[in-house]
């Protein structure tokens, strides 16, 4: 199976296109990287011995991918992985979570602290901490005493449109998002983060979306049931048909984001309730995945198979493209985070 390249070729998306860390080292030894060195005359030279370093000197920067984590959650199970940008100093600015808020309820989350902004990691961790606090509220025992008229006559449940004792998931989630937004604005240091969040209620899911971390819902046969729109100039251009997906991946303004937590103009895009069929998969990921793979490639690898292996395979493919650039495929080094959820009847 192959994907079309905007530069005239094709992008392989076969399973064997991923490389192990040892194979990456072999690839890097096949070429040299020439680094310009400033001499006393002020000119730049690449022919001196000091101006050439073997790519093997970069090998210590290639860290192995962390293991994929997995838990049973709501009516299925979730798997996730997050890792820092290969070769870049500093901490991972992404944050991920899969949180249970009841026997058949939970939250999935990916937050991407804005790279280059002060406090990007702080912002993404802050929204994770706040949502974890929200889950504790939602998981707290509720008052199960029946409503009474004059303290004597119970009110039948069929005449109550909504039980006031049940926690308001949407209100609680939106309150925490707004609380974090105001806190980041008060800090006045430019901290900001994106957020892709999915609320799970039994076999139904609903999305909350801010920024360019994206959400997909995919059937086992590869049918795309839901796709969030990236809150960015390029994302809107693709949605309107002004750019193709392939053109967008190579666009110089791909990095721009128009909606973040930490902005006076922050807005939350709330998706519809979507019922999951057996073996449907929900995927949330930072732009470290979506800037390096076509949507068709992502769907191909996540739609079936053991969930932890699907997440691992996507992460390997995205990171390999970050490390070994190609003219025929996108390559944007960045922090990488993937969270996937699949129905319990998937059997994997």
Residue-wise DSSP of 159-181: G-SS-TTS--HHHHHHHHHHHHH
**H or E segment to which residue 92 belongs:** none
Mean pLDDT (whole number) for 35-55: 40
User: Is 0.75 surpassed by the pTM of this model?
Assistant: yes
Nearest to 143 by CA among 170, 158, 163: 163
Model confidence pLDDT, tens digit, residues 116-151: 666 899 999 999 999 999 888 877 665 555 666 666
Q: Give the separation between CA 190 and CA 255, rounded to whole angstroms.
A: 17
pLDDT band at 348 (very low <50, low <70, confident <90, very high): very low
Q: Which tens digit of pLDDT belongs to each residue from 185-224?
A: 999 888 999 999 999 999 999 999 999 999 999 999 999 9
- What domains sit in the chain, N to C, each tagged with a CATH number? 19-34+47-62 (no CATH), 66-140+147-346 (3.60.40.10)
pLDDT the model gives residue 143 = 53
Name the residue with tokens 């801010």: 210
d(C-alpha 28, C-alpha 47), whole Å? 20
Q: For 57-103, how does the pLDDT look when each residue is reduced to its tens digit (9 = 90+)?
A: 444 457 889 999 999 999 999 999 999 999 888 889 999 999 998 88
Cβ proximity of 338 and 310 under 8 Å:
no
> What is the DSSP secondary structure assignment for residue 157, as one 8-state letter?
G
- Cα separation, 183 vs 79, in Å, equals 30
């Amino acid at each position: 199976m192959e994907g079309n390249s905007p530069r005239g070729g094709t992008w392989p998306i076969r399973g064997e296109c991923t490389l192990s860390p040892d194979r990456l080292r072999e690839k890097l030894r096949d070429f040299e990287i020439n680094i310009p060195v400033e001499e006393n005359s002020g000119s730049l030279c690449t022919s001196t011995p000091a101006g050439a370093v073997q790519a093997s000197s970069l090998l210590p920067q290639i860290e192995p991918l962390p293991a994929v984590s997995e838990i049973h959650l709501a009516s299925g199970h979730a798997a996730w992985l997050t890792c820092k940008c290969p070769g870049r100093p500093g901490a991972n600015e992404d944050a991920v979570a899969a949180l249970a808020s009841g026997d058949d309820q939970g939250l999935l989350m990916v937050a991407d602290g804005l790279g280059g902004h002060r406090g990007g990691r702080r912002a993404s961790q802050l929204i994770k901490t706040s949502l974890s606090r929200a889950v504790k509220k939602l998981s707290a025992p509720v008052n199960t005493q029946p409503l009474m008229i004059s303290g004597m006559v119970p009110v039948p449940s069929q005449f109550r449109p909504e039980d006031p004792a049940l926690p308001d998931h949407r209100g609680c989630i939106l309150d925490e998002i707004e609380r974090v937004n105001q806190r980041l604005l008060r800090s006045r240091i430019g901290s900001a983060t994106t957020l892709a969040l999915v609320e799970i209620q039994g076999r139904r899911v609903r999305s909350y979306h801010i920024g360019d971390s994206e959400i997909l819902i995919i059937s086992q046969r590869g049918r795309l049931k839901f796709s969030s729109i990236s809150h960015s100039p390029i994302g809107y251009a693709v949605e309107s048909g002004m750019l193709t997906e392939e053109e967008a991946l190579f666009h110089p303004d791909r990095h721009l984001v128009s909606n973040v937590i930490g902005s006076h103009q922050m807005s939350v895009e709330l998706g519809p309730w979507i019922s999951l069929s057996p073996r449907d998969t929900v995927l949330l990921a930072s732009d470290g995945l979506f800037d390096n793979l076509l949507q068709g490639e992502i769907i191909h690898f996540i739609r079936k198979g053991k969930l932890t292996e699907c997440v691992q395979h996507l992460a390997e493919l995205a990171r390999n493209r970050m490390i070994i650039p190609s003219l025929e495929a996108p390559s944007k080094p960045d922090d990488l985070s993937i969270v996937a959820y699949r129905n319990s009847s998937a059997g994997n």
